[in-house]
Chain A
């Protein structure tokens, strides 16, 4: 699972392109997480502004 900071996200789509599970989608100006995230962290690493954080099980 990932945590999306919507006040920081600029809806640029970088994370969508690098996600190996195709688990992210930009619905207009709103990033949404679909099923299948493997918590690999690639999206969070590549985000130009730091709007993403991977949360592991148990974390909310």
Chain B
């Protein structure tokens, strides 16, 4: 490890790993620091991702694919299940990953591309010069590393960005507080992801079952931080569900976690600094999915950083091309749309959820996507959704 690099990446999750790989592949000197001793553990994820989304970055490898998903279902508070078959993509719509292996593979690829990797190394604060970020103070063998650009991918905690003056604090209402068991010996449809909604089941969130084998699945729940408190936390709701639905199942792993579903800060760049992934608060606020968005922003940030380094301009203004590009991308537009979707979703009563899901129970979707599904809901429930004019416009 040297004391100077073109690019320093803080955090070894999918966002940081893809950023480091991209920058190194473009010939830049890159160092990635990860504070934990082992990449990817403990996992803080339900591990679901769209197949095509994944393919944009890496070819699926059985070494880290736990299950192939062919359909999804939404379960109403009254138990009605709406199964969504996708004809799209040869019926292979998604995968459930083994993230312990997947995350490490992404970091290995960054190393193969030429990046230095330092685990058990925490970035404790920025090195500043003339108001610009020019590196970081580290724990470990090298106490300080200088860099032209620091790409911050420190995940939900996002402390480094805050130390650089970008406020990424998540309000309680914008935090999905989550708990999950990896359960085995349970009766599930091994190729179907199941999402259960309802205010008594998962207030302002949902409960998920993501298969990882014939009788094994991630069974987890996310609720709004606003709805969390003593006796009614994510874990309390999860335990209640598991007791009634999988009384004979065995839990072989337990995790807790937080998914930031608030809006991103007004700018995700500053002089010498770029934020990517959860640190930039770019998780999809409707689905809670952030793996793809982390990889997407990680790659884009590294591309813009390498262009800026080539032109010798590392000002916040030059790096802001990254901010503009992700907001204008399909990912950025889908985020903007899904904030509205989430606001709508969290206002629904159980009765409304039931009516919505009953009305849609017979749809055979050609396309497996949130806007397509919502369009169908809107078409079938004009009266129910009459208050959604602005929302409809956003989808058209």
Check: B234 CB closer than 8 A to any chain A CB.
Answer: yes
Question: Given A20-B169, A48-B228, A48-B234, are A14 and B175 neighbors across the interface (CB < 8 Å)?
Answer: yes
What residue in chain B is nearest A11 (Cβ atoms)? B42
- Find out whether the CB atom of B179 lies under 8 angstroms from the CB atom of A49: yes
- Find out whether the CB atom of A48 lies under 8 angstroms from the CB atom of B177: yes
Check: A55 CB closer than 8 A to any chain B CB.
Answer: no
Check: B178 CB closer than 8 A to any chain A CB.
Answer: yes
Interface residues on A, range: 20 to 34
By a CB distance below 8 angstroms, the chain B residues around A26 are: 157
By a CB distance below 8 angstroms, the chain B residues around A47 are: 177, 228, 233, 256
Check: B87 CB closer than 8 A to any chain A CB.
Answer: no
By a CB distance below 8 angstroms, the chain B residues around A28 are: 35-37, 120
By a CB distance below 8 angstroms, the chain A residues around B255 are: 10, 12
Complex alpha-carbon distance, A19 and B43, angstroms: 22
Check: B225 CB closer than 8 A to any chain A CB.
Answer: yes
By a CB distance below 8 angstroms, the chain A residues around B35 are: 28
| Distance in Å: Cβ of B247 to nearest Cβ of chain A | 22
By a CB distance below 8 angstroms, the chain A residues around B228 are: 45-48
- Find out whether the CB atom of A46 lies under 8 angstroms from the CB atom of B179: no
- Find out whether the CB atom of B256 lies under 8 angstroms from the CB atom of A10: yes
By a CB distance below 8 angstroms, the chain A residues around B257 are: 12-14, 48
Option from A11, A25, A46 in Cβ contact (under 8 Å) with B177: A46
Check: B172 CB closer than 8 A to any chain A CB.
Answer: yes
Give the total of B residues in contact with A, Cβ under 8 Å.
Answer: 36
B152-164 Cβ-contact flags toward A at 8 Å (1 or 0): 0001111100110
Check: A42 CB closer than 8 A to any chain B CB.
Answer: yes
A14-44 Cβ-contact flags toward B at 8 Å (1 or 0): 1011111010011110000000000000100
Question: Given A13-B157, A28-B35, are A48 and B230 neighbors across the interface (CB < 8 Å)?
Answer: no
For B171, B235, B258, the residue with the greatest tally of chain A CB atoms inside 10 Å of its CB is B258
By a CB distance below 8 angstroms, the chain A residues around B44 are: 12-13
Check: B377 CB closer than 8 A to any chain A CB.
Answer: no
Complex alpha-carbon distance, A13 and B158, angstroms: 9
By a CB distance below 8 angstroms, the chain A residues around B170 are: 17-18
Option from A10, A18, A49 in Cβ contact (under 8 Å) with B175: A18
By a CB distance below 8 angstroms, the chain A residues around B158 are: 17
B285-309 Cβ-contact flags toward A at 8 Å (1 or 0): 0000000000000000000000000
Complex alpha-carbon distance, A22 and B122, angstroms: 16
| Distance in Å: Cβ of B14 to nearest Cβ of chain A | 16
- Find out whether the CB atom of B169 lies under 8 angstroms from the CB atom of A22: yes
Option from A13, A22, A25, A27 in Cβ contact (under 8 Å) with B258: A13
- Find out whether the CB atom of A49 lies under 8 angstroms from the CB atom of B225: no
Check: B260 CB closer than 8 A to any chain A CB.
Answer: yes
| Distance in Å: Cβ of B396 to nearest Cβ of chain A | 34
By a CB distance below 8 angstroms, the chain B residues around A13 are: 44, 155-157, 257-258
- Find out whether the CB atom of A46 lies under 8 angstroms from the CB atom of B162: no
Option from A20, A42, A48 in Cβ contact (under 8 Å) with B256: A48
Complex alpha-carbon distance, A45 and B313, angstroms: 44
Interface residues of B in 239-260 (CB under 8 A from A): 254-258, 260
- Find out whether the CB atom of A14 lies under 8 angstroms from the CB atom of B155: no
Other contacts beyond A11-B42, A47-B233: 14, CB < 8 A: A10-B42, A10-B254, A10-B255, A14-B225, A17-B157, A17-B168, A17-B170, A18-B171, A28-B120, A45-B172, A46-B258, A47-B228, A48-B228, A49-B179
Going nearest first, the 4 A-B pairs with the smallest beta carbon separation are A14-B258, A46-B225, A10-B256, A48-B234
Can you give 11 A-B contacts (C-beta < 8 A)? A14-B175, A17-B175, A17-B258, A18-B171, A18-B225, A22-B163, A45-B172, A48-B233, A48-B257, A48-B258, A49-B234
